[in-house]
Structure 1
Amino acid sequence: MQTIDATNYSVYFDSSGYEILASMLVPTQYSKLFIIVDENTSEHCLPHLLNNLATEVAIEIIELEAGEINKNIATCTEVWGALSDLGADRKSMILNLGGGVVSDLGGFVACTFKRGIDFINIPTTLLSMVDASIGGKNGVDLGNLKNQIGIIREPKAVVVDTHFLSTLPQNEMRSGLAEMLKHGLIFDKAYWDKFKNLKDLDTDDLNALIHQSIQIKNNIVSEDLTEQGIRKALNFGHTLGHAIESYFLEDETKTTLLHGEAIAVGMILESYISKEKGLLTNEEYQEIKYVISDIFERIDFTESDLEKIIELLIYDKKNEFGKVQFALLSGIGEIKINEEADNALIHKAFEDYLQ
């Protein structure tokens, strides 16, 4: 697959990525290489990476506990401590080998250790390939509130090796599909249309869709790195989706949702809001609801759940002057940012979702 050039770095694919790594990771450039993994990527992905990593730079492995619940400052403190104990300096390099948690947290650790050292993302999940590893957002959660602490700083490179997808369970693959569907909905109707018959797609089709999804996100981010305008389009489905994800993470009686599972619900809800505000036709809304519901199982909510989820909206990082901001659809493939919706309309969206 062809290399994608971002603002200050490039996204490389498969074998070409490892060739680039070999040319970058040389002793004259970096004093030591730290690979951040979690329990899962340490077992399933690290051996493949090490077999393909040609470097004379000394390597140290730092392993995290897996899961969104560990994406916090306490974990960062442990990693900063490990870096110090293992002799990291300002000429060290961090490789983030993992999904969204490893990419987000590892990037944040790199950006803040000794006021910033270089890092490279090697995403191992579909979600991190098309979303978390791209665009320079690095950060952690504050308690159960998503991505409240962070910084925007781009990596030195991203290496996408689709071999890692063979290690994923089906629910993790579906989670990544949510962000790919979003890219079609906000930017490219023809791309969205390709997902209407997923069962007809083969591996080559998936690789092409991954490449196109990364290109869509990169096009948007390249216009607006610091999210002052059009980059807010990428938040479609995330205002309510993040609130749902945070609530299910916080409530011990709930089964924790994967990011994409929560965002899938958020996209249906925010599509309904788009329809009710006259931005989206009912036909378009029904198509979106059908396609997403065909891939993701419905999540049940009680009235108490809804009240608590709506309360969490005030913490959304996109809010301005105390008002909840939505990115809504003005047609499939079109977006309208900085839209508001009152609680009554949000309740109606949940009611329609639960029908």
Structure 2
Amino acid sequence: MKTIQAATYPVHFYDEAYQKLTDFVTSKNYSSIFLLVDDNTLDCCYPRFMQNFATNNSMEVIQIDAGEEFKNLETCVGVWNAMTELGADRKSLLITLGGGVITDLGGFVASTFKRGIDFINIPTTLLSMVDASVGGKTGIDLGVLKNQIGLFANPEMVIVDPEYLHTLSAREIRSGTAEIIKYGLTFDIKLFNEINNNKKLDIKDLIYESVKIKNNVVLEDPTEKNIRKVLNFGHTIGHAIESYFLDSSEKESLTHGEAIAIGMVCESYLSNVILNMPMEHVTFVKNAILEIYGKIDFTSDDYSSIMEYLKHDKKNVNGEVNFVLLNDYENFQLDCRATPNEIIDSLNYYLA
């Protein structure tokens, strides 16, 4: 599969990507190499990685706990301390092997260690393959508030090896599918239709198209001043719900994709209210998403807390909540506003 060229780095695919990785690392003559993994990827993905990556350099493995709740400054400090104790310097390389938490946190760790060292992303979940590993966003959460601390920093390369998807549960595959649905609704409705019409679809077929869409958007707007905001469709309400469930002792935490799926239903409803997106299309989106994800259990009693988390969305300006909404499929509008009552109506629509 043809390499996708991002602004300053390539995205390589499948087995031949490892030869590209080996050649690159050999040419750069790094002083040391560090591999960042979590509990899951150490067990499930590290063996395949080691079978395919050949280097004469010694490589140190740094392991962190798995889960969104560990995507925080405390974990970063632990990784920085480990790298320091193991002799990392400005000519070191950090390779991230994992999902969105590993790629986001690992990129942030590398970009700030000694004012920046090289890093390479090897995403192992569908979510990180089609979203987190590409585009140069790095960051961590502040408490349960998503991605509040971070910076834009590009990796040296990204390796997309769909064989790692075999290590995932069906729930994790569904989580990553939400981001592909987002690309379908905003840029290429064929992606959404393929998912909706073919329940036995090999999702690997859609990874390449998804990465291509995201890369084209990022090339046009690398630091999210304009069109890159479209990649937040479903994420404004979705992130608020994800944070609320993460922080609640009475709720089981949602995957990122489950929360974004709710957000896409709600923000499709707002698209009808504010931009007159055809209601039959809103209904189609809701029904398709509910068929894939089921209905998440919350009630109107939870609304006030969800609305409170919305106030902290990093896209807000002057206290105003910003949405990406749809005039229709493949036709979006940036920087839209909705009243609190309209947002509550959208939650009611999801639950109805």
Q: TM class, shorter-chain normalised? A: over 0.9
1:42 deviates by 0.2
Shift of 1:196: 1.8
2:134 aligns with 134
Provide, for residues 99-124 of structure 1, a one-character-per-residue CA deviation record: whole Å limited to 9, x for no partner: 00000000000000000000000000
Give the C-alpha shift of residue 15 in structure 1: 1.4
Cα distance, 1:208 vs structure 2: 2.4
Alignment check: 8 A CA contact 1:27 1:57 kept: no
What residue in structure 2 maps to residue 188 of structure 1?
188
Are 1:121 and 1:158, in contact at CA under 8 Å, matched by a contact in 2?
yes
SS class of match (2:213): helix
Query: Helix, strand or coil for the counterpart of 2:335?
Result: strand
Deviations, residues 17-41 of structure 1 (Å, cap 9, x unaligned)? 1011111112752011100000000
Q: Equivalents in 2 of 1:282, 1:102: separation in Å?
A: 39
Given the alignment of the two structures, is residue 259 of structure 1 paired with residue 256 of structure 2, yes or no? Answer: yes
1:247–1:308 Cα contact (<8 Å) kept? yes
Q: Match of 1:347? A: 344
How is 1:227-238 mapped onto 2 (pairs within 5 angstroms)?
Answer: 227-238=224-235
| 1:24 alignment counterpart | 24
2:4 matched residue in structure 1: 4
Structure 1 ranges of 4+ moved more than 6 A: none
Q: Percent identity between the aligned chains?
A: 50
Partner-residue secondary structure (3-state), 2:199: helix
Residue 280 of structure 1: which of 259, 277, 281 is its match?
277
For residue 329 of structure 1, report the CA deviation from its aligned partner.
1.0
Q: Which residue of 1 aligns with 2:247?
A: 250
CA distance in 2, matches of 1:225, 1:284: 31
TM-score, with length taken from structure 1: 0.97
The amino acid that maps onto 1:260 is G
Please tell me the residue identity of whatever aligns with 2:205. Answer: A
Letter in 2 for 1:293: L
Match of residue 43 from structure 1: 43
Partner of 1:120: 120
Trace 1:29-108 onto structure 2 (pairs within 5 A).
29-108=29-108
Structure 2 portions without partners, runs of 5+? none
Structure 1, unaligned stretches of length 5 or more?
none
The letter of the residue matching 2:80 is: W
Q: C-alpha root-mean-square deviation of aligned residues, in Å?
A: 1.0
Question: 1:175 is matched with which residue?
Answer: 175
Contact 2:35 2:95 in 1 (8 A): yes
1:221 and 1:324 map into 2 onto residues whose CA distance is 23
Residue number among 266, 269, 272 corresponding to 1:269 in the alignment: 266
Q: Distance in 1 between matches of 2:28 and 2:321?
A: 49
**Residues in 2 aligned to 1:180 and 1:188: alpha-carbon distance in whole angstroms:** 10
- State TM-score, norm by structure 2: 0.98
Q: CA deviation at 1:210?
A: 0.6
Q: Which amino acid aligns with 2:236?
A: T
What one-letter code is carried by the residue in structure 1 that aligns with 2:229? Answer: K
Helix, strand or coil at the partner of 1:166: helix
* Residues matched between the structures, number: 352
